[in-house]
Amino acid sequence: MEQRDPHIQWFPGHMAASLRRMEERLAVVDVVVEIVDARLPRLSANPALEQIAARRPWVRVYSRADLADPTITAAWVASKPAGQVGSIAIDGKRQGDLKKLIMLLEGSFQKKGTGRIMIVGIPNAGKSTVINGLVGRNVAKVENRAGVTKSLQWFRVSPRLELLDSPGILMPKIVTETGQWMLALTGALPRERYDARTVIERIHQYWTEHHGTAGIPSETLPTLEEFAAQRGFRRKGDHLDLDNATRQYLKVFNEAGFGRYSFEQPEA
Ligand SMILES: Nc1nc2c(ncn2[C@@H]2O[C@H](COP(=O)(O)OP(=O)(O)OP(=O)(O)O)[C@@H](O)[C@H]2O)c(=O)[nH]1
Ligand SMILES: [Mg+2]
């Protein structure tokens, strides 16, 4: 099996600098919202961000709940760790979910006037999507790749709420190999940092071992070659077009096209 980069990680200098700036801004922040991926809430939580969050009332948002196993997500929301003042699971693109989030945020601080809320999370978690949804317009740049937001920026949602968007911050070291491919697969790492075919081999192997267990659908997952053949990814001479199939495979996976899945469960 090809293993181009067994130590996938991504912690460029701008992340360390952003982390320092976020700490400086805490002085004017009333609440910190940490956005994690509902499919892997433990791996997508950055301890450095949680250290910052813990210095303020702290709300945890499980985003991409539309892709995760609903029962497991509900268990995560119920498992409120010490220090958290609230938690909620959302599809960041659903109006109904965003309304519930506004209510939770408005209730998360005591003072009269405008509450200032800093949104933090790993790259591609859905921070800017939530900001656009709450503001009601596309004010923050959103793209389906890691590392889109580059600076800290305030947005006014209502007389009661102002939100601070922030760049995605990854951990300096992603400790386990499983953690590395899972974070690559779910979109927290830029494409050029990992070998996509290796990541597909890893998820295929994982799924083959775990399908039908908690959080993983009972259907099997196609191999990349099976997927390419089924979907007609071919080049001249009837060769499979694995490059385009690779892109499509990751896309389908991240739209729950193979079913909704949760890689991690809260401790019992
Ligand atoms: N299915 C699904 N997709 C989402 C959800 N929230 C965000 N996305 C998608 O995830 C991608 C990344 O969203 P962004 O809002 O740019 O993420 P970000 O956390 O601001 O990313 P950086 O600025 O790179 O750190 C976009 O393609 C969004 O449409 C969600 O709840 N469900
Ligand atoms: Mg962003």
The pLDDT of residue 2 is above 80: no
Residue range 177-253 in CATH 3.30.70.100: no
Above pLDDT 90, what percent of the chain?
88
Tell me which of 61, 94, 124 to substitute to probe ligand 1's pocket, judged by most ligand atoms within 8 Å of the beta carbon.
124
* pLDDT tier, 253 (very low <50, low <70, confident <90, very high otherwise): very high
Separation of 127 CA from ligand 1 center, angstroms? 7
Can you tell me the mean pLDDT for 135-164?
94
Per CATH, the architecture of 13-165 is what? 3-Layer(aba) Sandwich (3.40)
Q: Please name which of 264, 259, 187 lies closest in space to residue 219, comparing C-alpha atoms.
A: 259
Distance CA 263, CA 268 (A): 15
Q: Quick check: CB of 224 below 6 Å from ligand 1?
A: no
Spans of all domains in the chain: 13-165, 177-253
Strand partners, 117: 31, 163
> DSSP label at 41?
T
Per the CB < 8 A criterion, the answer to whether 97 and 104 are in contact is: no
* pLDDT tier, 34 (very low <50, low <70, confident <90, very high otherwise): very high
Of 55-64, 175-184, 232-241, 246-255, the least confident: 232-241
**Residue position matching structure tokens 């939580």:** 45
What pTM, to 2 d.p., does this model score?
0.95
Q: Quick check: CB of 46 below 6 Å from ligand 1?
A: no
Q: Quick check: CB of 215 below 6 Å from ligand 1?
A: no
* pLDDT tier, 9 (very low <50, low <70, confident <90, very high otherwise): confident
Question: What atom of ligand 1 comes closest to residue 168's alpha carbon?
Answer: 25
Question: In whole numbers, what is the pLDDT of the chain averaged over residues?
Answer: 94
Strand order in the sheet with 161-165: 84-89, 58-63, 31-37, 115-121, 161-165, 153-158
pLDDT at residue 1 in the model: 41
Residue range 217-251, pLDDT digits in tens: 999 999 999 999 999 999 888 899 999 999 999 99
Residue owning the nearest CA to atom 23 of ligand 1: 149
Residue range 111-147, pLDDT digits in tens: 899 999 999 999 999 999 999 999 999 999 999 999 9
